[in-house]
Structure 1
Amino acid sequence: MYQFFTEPSAIDGTVVSVSGGDYNHIRNVLRLRPGEEVSVVTTGAEEYRCAIESFDEDSQTVRLRLLFIKQENVELPCRIYLFQGLPKGDKLELIIQKAVELGAYEVIPVSMKRSVVRLDEKKIRKRTERYQAVSEAAAKQAKRRIIPRIREVLSFEEALLYCDEKEIGIRLLPYELCDPSSMERTRSILGSIRPGQQ
């Protein structure tokens, strides 16, 4: 079943409206027809099962009829923030896609001392918009209830301050040259994470 995101204001009683780029995707790419069912998730993380009623070409809106509200929550019980050093090329898009599909709550690109990629202010904004679109597509694919936020690139120092600001309690730092015996402690830490933790 195809899933789309919309604002809570797009729901009026038993009528749900989907517009923007999703109109074209539903009508022309997927070629869905009236009567077919789709899933709509609001930014409030509620999922609605809907049937297509009609297409309005003038306003580029798909009119849906609400069938029922899906109750089960598929989100992880804890929030995972991924602080990712900037890799070469366009690898960050794949990293964001997989992180979102696996349940990351937020992805924060970090410019490290040894990062090869250096971005100016204009490129950072454009790339962040692109990364957010990748996040939305991955959230749809994985049937997530939220679209994980992709932050603008932070320096390492800014990333540390952001951890404190968000009160992120458990911090794991993977390092390829670490002692393999330290993995036992990592397993114990991961096992101690409880719902609601960050």
Structure 2
Amino acid sequence: MQRYFLNKENQIENDDLHHILNVMRFKDQTEVEVCFGGKCYLAKLNINGKSVSYETISEIDSNEPKQVHLIQGLPKGDKIETVSKFATIFGAEEIIFVPMVRSIAKLANTDHKLDRLKKISKEAAELSKHSSLPEINFFESLKALNLEGKTIVVLDENEKTVHIDEVLPKLKNTAIYVIVGPEGGIDDKERSLFSKLNAHFVTLGKTIYPTELAHIPFLTKL
């Protein structure tokens, strides 16, 4: 069944109106799912010409995000779109893009990119039947994140012995800030910074994942 996330006024967004009327060509009284305020409902569409509204019927079981804030070292090109899509599908609560020492890409046109990423995330959340959307943000630097006192997990290819399964049991019911380096990985200066913040450094195993996919094996463990 089709799911739609409503806007801040709990109304159907313009893009979704187009989808309802012109793509799906739904008829009056068609049942869909609508989500707002972190909850989702079975709803009935009221369609009169180009006018579309809805009536809720019953609440649907929620599919809440995990307490994970993904800090992704800014990658090249459209890899930010891949991160936004799959981090949403696998349940991240927040997605943060930040330049790191080895980032090749630079911050530019962030407002335009943010609009695009939010649309991608929304489509991914509807597809995967989540009940809320992750926050997506750009930060200028790691220091601007203010990670002092946070529970930090660093996915580090230089770590060879400490595995995710050893660390996660200690972090139950805790908001986790997981850090993924850009192409080329994490710089030693950044490792030093994370060490001072008492971060947990873990390995994903022998396989080295592309930066845009490295968060997936971590999120699937939770």
* Fold shared, TM-score > 0.5 on shorter chain: yes
Q: Tell me which protein shows more helix as a share of its residues.
A: 1
> In structure 1, which of residues 143, 147, 151 is the aligned counterpart of residue 137 of structure 2?
151
DSSP 3-state at the match of 2:131: coil
Aligned to 2:114: 128
- Is 1:48 aligned to 2:41, yes or no? yes
> In structure 2, which of residues 52, 58, 64 is the aligned counterpart of residue 75 of structure 1?
64
> Distance between the aligned counterparts of 2:107 and 2:38, measured in 1?
33
| CA RMSD between the two structures | 2.0
Alignment map for 1:19-98 (pairs within 5 Å)? 19-42=13-36, 44-57=37-50, 61-70=51-60, 72-76=61-65, 78-98=66-86
1:56 CA displacement: 4.8
1:189 CA displacement: 2.0
Query: Do the aligned partners of residues 8 and 89 (structure 1) sit closer, same or farther apart at CA in structure 2, a change above 3 Å counting?
Result: closer
- Structure 2 unaligned spans of 5+: 177-222
DSSP 3-state at the match of 1:22: helix
> Distance between the aligned counterparts of 2:126 and 2:48, measured in 1?
21
DSSP 3-state at the match of 1:129: helix
1:9 CA displacement: 4.5
DSSP 3-state at the match of 2:12: strand
Q: Which digits, 9 at most, give the CA deviation of each residue in 1:82-128, with x for residues without a partner?
A: 000111221110111000000000000010111111133xx122112
Question: Structure 2: which amino acid aligns with 1:88?
Answer: K
Question: Structure 1: which amino acid aligns with 2:155?
Answer: P
DSSP 3-state at the match of 1:127: helix
> Distance between the aligned counterparts of 2:166 and 2:173, measured in 1?
16
DSSP 3-state at the match of 1:195: coil
> Distance between the aligned counterparts of 2:57 and 2:16, measured in 1?
20
> In structure 2, which of residues 103, 126, 150 is the aligned counterpart of residue 168 of structure 1?
150
> Distance between the aligned counterparts of 1:9 and 1:124, measured in 2?
25
Normalised to the residue count of structure 2, the TM-score between the two structures is: 0.72
Aligned to 2:105: 117
Q: Percent identity?
A: 26
Runs of at least 4 residues off by over 6 Å: none
Normalised to the residue count of structure 1, the TM-score between the two structures is: 0.80
DSSP 3-state at the match of 1:172: strand
> Distance between the aligned counterparts of 1:195 and 1:107, measured in 2?
19
> Distance between the aligned counterparts of 1:175 and 1:56, measured in 2?
55
Question: Is the contact between residue 41 and residue 56 of structure 2 (CA under 8 Å) also seen in structure 1?
Answer: yes
> Distance between the aligned counterparts of 1:192 and 1:55, measured in 2?
55
1:19 CA displacement: 4.0
DSSP 3-state at the match of 1:112: coil
Question: Is the contact between residue 44 and residue 56 of structure 2 (CA under 8 Å) also seen in structure 1?
Answer: yes
Question: Is the contact between residue 125 and residue 152 of structure 1 (CA under 8 Å) also seen in structure 2?
Answer: no
- Is 1:3 aligned to 2:11, yes or no? no
Question: Is the contact between residue 69 and residue 175 of structure 2 (CA under 8 Å) also seen in structure 1?
Answer: no
Aligned to 2:184: none
